[in-house]
Amino acid sequence: MIRVLISCFFNIRSAYLSYKKKNFLSLPGFVFSLLVGFPITLLQRIISPLVVIRVGRINSPRIGHFIQEIDWIANHSYLVKKNIFEIYFLSDKNSANSFFLDFAINRFRVAPKCLIFGIYAWNRAFSNSSKYLIKLPGRIVDCTWMNSTSSPYNPTDEFLKKGNEVMSKLGIPNDAKIVCFFIRDEAYAQDKFPNTDHYFSDYRNCKSEDFQDSFEFLTNLGYYVLRMGNKVSSTVDNSNSRIIDYANWELRSDFGDVFFSYKCQFAICTDSGATLLPLFFRKPVGITNISGFHGLIHTNLVKFITCKRYIVRSNGLSLTLSEILNSEVYQFENQQDFDRAGLAVKSCSQSENLGLTKDMTFLSTKGEKVSLVNLRFQSLLSQKRGVPYESCLSEKWLSENYDFFN
């Protein structure tokens, strides 16, 4: 009994320190939530033979996690038995996107955090409480449910009308072909989480100028190119009227981020949670500059990828796929890991980014023929990760990184 009480104390203390750091609840709010939550936690167990009340936390401040969890909940709700009653709360008062915030509140049972957090915390503190907690995907990796499901959102007439008005303001015809580029840099995280040292994620950042050739290539084929983003650290050369630096547009909005993700023919993304925006609408996606193997998303909607290379600082050699999969490098997910291992992270070249863009552009005409090299790559990743992996390495990237499989 004493051991259980000690465990509860440290779990509750840890929860308070975590949520205080995130400015989630004030001390009075935290205490109130625990006081309200404790009797409800007991009630959960008393009435469980009749009705099981489960609570879950939606990770709202991170765009990738936010969208993934909303998508997952919407597409797994049919699995919930009739005698199970599920309630959610948002992990932070600041959400990553106001459109998805409204979607979650209107679609699911989302209750005030001051009421639900205490129930969640007590159940986390007690042992054998999995029955009363909703387990959501912890990392943006396994999205295979998207292969056989449609988007949880059906566009309304109001949504389409508002979106067309945004397009008109940008000078884009309603019937235009659009490609969205989501290029991660340091600006968004620094603005969204100013009290955090973001050096740990530097290896994931990219430069927008490395995609200029891709922009021009697409516009020459009649596409409109939108450089997406909330906060970005640079501008793009938009002297070409079909290249639109939407991220720096004064009328950029959360709604626009969602609408253009719905409207685009396909999207090119770097290693970023924003990749989930076009995936939410089941759009084909190409991901360039995969910086860590945690960034590999499992869904057949991700058609092509390219990887950053890991360079050994002492001799200038690049690690092969085998060396990565069979070492701790496979698990690296922050800049300090690479620093300690004496590795530099090299971004993809402009020509490699263009190669992936061409692969995505001609996907409908070339079809999805998988080379022997890519079949081997998919097999190795599927075995290593225990989830089917169906994306292909870009042919241009393979030709310039032939040593990757040595």
Q: Give pLDDT tens digits for 73-130.
A: 999 887 788 899 999 999 987 899 999 999 999 999 999 999 999 999 999 999 889 9
Residue 80 near residue 135 (C-beta atoms within 8 A): no
Rounded mean pLDDT of the chain? 90
pLDDT digits (tens, 9 = 90+) for 123-149: 999 988 999 999 887 776 789 999 999
| Same domain for 27 and 171 | no
Residue in 267, 284, 276 with CA at minimum distance from that of residue 367: 284
State the pLDDT at residue 24: 56
Mean pLDDT of 189-200: 73
- Which residues form the domain of 67? 2-138
**Angle separating helix axes 350-361 and 212-220, nearest 10 degrees:** 30
| Same domain for 173 and 133 | no
Alpha-carbon distance of 155 to 296, in angstroms, equals 29
Q: How sure is the predictor about 251, in pLDDT bands with cuts at 50, 70 and 90?
A: very high
| Same domain for 191 and 134 | no
C-beta neighbour count of 266 within 10 angstroms:
21
Q: How sure is the predictor about 25, in pLDDT bands with cuts at 50, 70 and 90?
A: low
Boundary of a domain, candidates 83, 104, 138: 138
Q: How sure is the predictor about 189, in pLDDT bands with cuts at 50, 70 and 90?
A: low
Boundary of a domain, candidates 104, 138, 172: 138
Boundary of a domain, candidates 138, 171, 196: 138
C-beta neighbour count of 315 within 10 angstroms:
7
Alpha-carbon distance of 340 to 258, in angstroms, equals 39
Residue 241 near residue 171 (C-beta atoms within 8 A): yes
| Same domain for 370 and 262 | yes
Q: Classify residue 179: in a domain, yes or no.
A: yes
| Same domain for 282 and 181 | yes
Q: How sure is the predictor about 232, in pLDDT bands with cuts at 50, 70 and 90?
A: confident
pLDDT at 70 over 90: yes
Q: How far is CA 368 from CA 179, 354, 363, in A?
A: 19, 18, 7
Query: What is the amino acid identity at position 268?
Result: I
Q: Where are the beta strands (DSSP E) in 176-223?
A: 178-182
Tokens (6 digits) for 173: 């015809």
State the pLDDT at residue 94: 83
| Same domain for 240 and 173 | yes
pLDDT at 311 over 50: yes
Q: How sure is the predictor about 26, in pLDDT bands with cuts at 50, 70 and 90?
A: confident
Alpha-carbon distance of 380 to 374, in angstroms, equals 10
Alpha-carbon distance of 319 to 87, in angstroms, equals 46
pTM given for the model: 0.91
Q: Classify residue 143: in a domain, yes or no.
A: no
State the pLDDT at residue 5: 46
Mean pLDDT of 15-34: 66
Residues paired with 52 in a beta bridge: 84
Q: Rounded to 5 degrees, what angle do the CA atoms 394, 273, 186 make? A: 95
Residue 244 near residue 225 (C-beta atoms within 8 A): yes
What is the separation of C-alpha 114 from the centre of its chain, rounded to a whole number of angstroms? 27
Q: Classify residue 247: in a domain, yes or no.
A: yes
DSSP-derived pairing of the beta strands 343-346 and 309-312:
antiparallel
Report the number of distinct structural domains present in the chain.
2
- Indicate the burial class of 124 (C-beta count within 10 angstroms; 0-12, 13-18, 19 or more): middle
Alpha-carbon distance of 104 to 186, in angstroms, equals 28
pLDDT at 1 over 50: no
Q: How sure is the predictor about 186, in pLDDT bands with cuts at 50, 70 and 90?
A: confident
Query: What is the amino acid identity at position 100?
Result: F
Query: What is the amino acid identity at position 209?
Result: E
Q: How sure is the predictor about 187, in pLDDT bands with cuts at 50, 70 and 90?
A: low
State the pLDDT at residue 142: 85
User: What whole-number percentage of the chain has pLDDT above 90?
Assistant: 74
State the pLDDT at residue 200: 78
State the pLDDT at residue 136: 87
| Same domain for 281 and 160 | yes
pLDDT at 191 over 50: yes
Q: Is 35 helix (H, G, I), strand (E, B) or coil?
A: helix
Alpha-carbon distance of 374 to 389, in angstroms, equals 11
Alpha-carbon distance of 70 to 59, in angstroms, equals 9
Mean pLDDT of 163-187: 94
Alpha-carbon distance of 378 to 400, in angstroms, equals 19
pLDDT digits (tens, 9 = 90+) for 273-305: 999 999 999 999 999 999 998 779 999 999 999
What is the separation of C-alpha 78 from the centre of its chain, rounded to a whole number of angstroms? 24
| Same domain for 185 and 60 | no
User: What whole-number percentage of the chain has pLDDT above 70?
Assistant: 91
Q: How far is CA 324 from CA 278, 311, 318, 392, 401, in A?
A: 29, 11, 10, 18, 15
Mean pLDDT of 356-365: 90
Length of the chain measured in residues:
406
Q: Classify residue 268: in a domain, yes or no.
A: yes
| Same domain for 181 and 99 | no
Q: Fill in the DSSP letter of residue 94.
A: S
